[in-house]
Amino acid sequence: MAIAISQSDYWELLEGVEPTVKPTVEPTEATVQTDHRFETIWTYPKRLGQGYRHEIQLREGLELAIVHYQLHDAMAMQLPEREHPLEYDFYLAGGFTSPSGCTSTGQYSLCGSGLAPVEIAEWSAHEQMGINVHIEPELFVAWLNQSVDTLTPELQHLIKPMLQTYYVGSGDITTTMQMALQQILHCPFHGLTKQLYLESKVWELMALLIEQELNRQGSKSTQGIPALKPEDVDRIHQARAILSQRFDHPPSLMELARLVGLNDCTLKRGFRQVFGTTAFGYLHDYRLEQARQLLEEQQLNVSEIAQAIGFANRSYFAAAFRKKFGVSPKEYLSRHRNSA
């Protein structure tokens, strides 16, 4: 049976715990280092579970929170009618359900500003891990170099007056989003550099969410582009599974299309529609994620890993890895060994 709690009681419990600099559950294997000038880590109330909420004030009107906790029991939170900022959440584990929708592992939710109605949100008694970002509407439109009155029509649903019900949307986390999320969780910097780096990643994620919103809005108005059939979507998911299984020796695009029973044009168009990237882009990022895991296992050297994941050229592999994770494979391996 779920524990029922009001939003005000929840925050009273959370903020009633003395802040700490060492969370109960780590987001990475490295110890979290905080700067008290702009960071606070709240240990999760023992009455509810264990874990932490790591809050980072990036600037006035922009806050990042990294959360990682495990509930003892499912929780149902009663939310009052309230003013709502622009907000997004990425769930790397766990998720929640509410009258507005359901978000689970591997998905994001995006909420516009406006009036949030009375509702009940529920979290299951599973591991919850991800990031949450709050953006004040004025800061968002300033970042776009626009104003509320001149905001791009395709984005006006994200900024609503306080008497209008806010927008709620969701989608799957793309490989490009996953890259930025991992860079946030594995931030290598401290102090002011950390603050600036994390802010850049928060806005990068916002840009990727805007791209999804523009695509979604555009697909509603674009004529002549046929919608994908449900069976085509299933085949495109099969194509992604094949690429994941055969990432070291992948099929050509034509062969992949034949394997899943689509023509190559539908596969290319559909892959971007469903996953927000090309088949090659997905394969490229998947290989690099595999490389990162192999580096953490410390069983192979860099050259062996490059060969294992299908990169014939070690220099190209090193450059691609650095572009994705911010460090070279050799540096990543060294840091992981030192933190073990």
| Tens-binned pLDDT, residue by residue, of the chain (340 aa) | 678 888 888 888 877 755 544 443 344 333 355 677 899 998 888 888 999 999 999 999 999 999 999 999 999 998 888 889 999 999 999 988 876 778 889 999 999 998 888 788 898 888 999 999 999 999 999 999 988 888 888 899 999 887 788 888 889 999 899 999 999 999 999 999 999 999 999 999 999 999 988 887 665 544 455 677 888 999 999 999 999 999 888 888 888 999 999 988 888 888 888 887 888 888 888 889 999 999 998 889 999 999 899 887 788 888 888 888 888 999 988 887 766 5
No. of helices (H) and no. of strands (E), the chain:
11, 14
Determine the pLDDT at residue 22.
40
Measured CA to CA, the distance from residue 273 to residue 215 in angstroms comes to: 9
Q: Which two tokens stand for residue 210?
A: 């805007």
Determine the pLDDT at residue 315.
84
Q: At residue 77, what are phi and psi to the nearest 5 degrees?
A: -105, 130
Characterise 138 by phi-psi region: left (phi > 0), alpha (psi -120 to 50), beta (else): alpha
- CATH 1.10.10.60 domain residues, the chain: 230-339
Determine the pLDDT at residue 33.
58
Q: Which of 84, 130, 86 is nearest to 108 (CA)?
A: 130
**230-339 belongs to which CATH class?**
mainly alpha
